[in-house]
Amino acid sequence: MTQSRRLRALVALAVAAALTAACGSSDKPTTAAGGGDLTDLGRRLPAAIAAAHNLDVGSDVAYAPVEFFEEGTQNVMGLDVDICGAVVARFGGGFTCRFMNTTFDGIIPALQAKRFDVIMSALSDTAERQQAIDLVDYFSAGTSILVAKGNPLGIKSLDDLCGRTVGLQKGTTQEDLANTQKTKCQGNGSDLEILTFEKDTDALLALKAGRSVADMNDFPVAAYNAKVSGDGKDFEVVGEQLGAGPYGIGVRKDDVALRDAIHEALVAIIADGTYDRVLAKWDVRQGALTTAAINGG
């Protein structure tokens, strides 16, 4: 009898221990607050963000040179990282941006679920996305077509893709562009097969393997891919940039104070030349905006 009671007590203890272990731990990283006082602009931020001296940024970190991991490390770098840094510098107090990796096709729901404060992920400002979130525009990028080196099929425009297969990342503006083109091809009695992938790197692999004849992505990314993949021997960019539109910093609709503070900071860094220096660093000055609109796409 004592044997069974001891066993039961042991089980109860183990269960209790497991419960506390499961619920007690909180692996929330501590952010160092400090580094002086906030500016007037910084003080207008929502209280929780102002207190943390940190902006949590959701991003699909697999889109060099806009956002990517430094090779072989977990350090996030790129155009978006530097623009975010320049924006929060306007808030004072040693303010930081913490980039948090996420998947692109789920990035807007994740923002709405408050997984982070804002999203910066080479996110095009479109009317459709404006239904769900507000976008503060900070860059302009069109789509480039990427093909195998030497362009064996002589592709120069979207119309040349009719009757062929194109591979691209799921949920991107390029997917919309390809779908529109598909309808156009079908109108001409042809077709366009579209392969969509989780990541742009998967689309690149499909192109390299000959599964598709072209990949479409934003011009800075296409240029980077052509330069880096196979030491520049795999791909080349063809034709003109298509349908240039702004990238926006995504903010929740009810986060008006945060949206306005980011907008004001962007206007300031464009005016004082910081913005231009960041774009020059990543060799993408042709995408510069002269004004930072809200929902301007």
Partner 1 sequence: MDAGTQPPAVAASDIRPVPVRHFGRWVSAAVILGLVAWLASAAAASGAVDGSVVRHFLFNHSILEGVRNTLVIAVAAQAAGIALGVGFAVMRLAVNPVLRVTSWVYVWLFRGTPVLVQLILWFSLPLVFEFMAIKLPFVDVYLYRARMVDFMTPFKAAFLGLALNEGAYMAEIVRAGIISVDEGQVDAAKALGMHPALTLRRIVLPQAMRVIIPPTGNEFISMLKTSSLASVVLYGELLRRTQDVYSTNLRTLDLLVVASIWYLALTSVASSGQYFLERRFARGSARDVPETLLARVRRNVTTIRR
Sites of contact with partner 1 (CB under 8 A): 3-4, 7, 23-24, 26-28, 61-64, 68-74, 101-103, 106, 109, 113-115, 199-201, 204-205, 225, 228-230, 234
By three-state DSSP, how is residue 273 classified? coil
Q: Are 166 and 172 in contact (CB under 8 A)?
A: no
Nearest to 193 by CA among 223, 168, 172, 217: 168
State which residue, 24 or 34, has the beta carbon closest to partner 1.
24
Would you state the structure tokens that stand for residue 110, as one six-digit string? 């994740």
CB of 73 vs partner 1, minimal distance in Å: 6
CB of 237 vs partner 1, minimal distance in Å: 15
CB of 126 vs partner 1, minimal distance in Å: 22
CB of 120 vs partner 1, minimal distance in Å: 17
State which residue, 59 or 140, has the beta carbon closest to partner 1.
59
State which residue, 106 or 243, has the beta carbon closest to partner 1.
106
State which residue, 140 or 225, has the beta carbon closest to partner 1.
225
Q: How far apart are CA 279 and CA 47, in angstroms?
A: 31
CB burial of 81-93 (b: ≥16 within 10 Å; e: otherwise) equals bbbbebbbbbbbb
CB of 3 vs partner 1, minimal distance in Å: 6
Q: How far apart are CA 58 and CA 102, in angstroms?
A: 6
Measured at the alpha carbon of residue 176, what is the angle toward residues 173 and 180, in degrees to the nearest 5?
Answer: 145
State which residue, 147 or 269, has the beta carbon closest to partner 1.
147
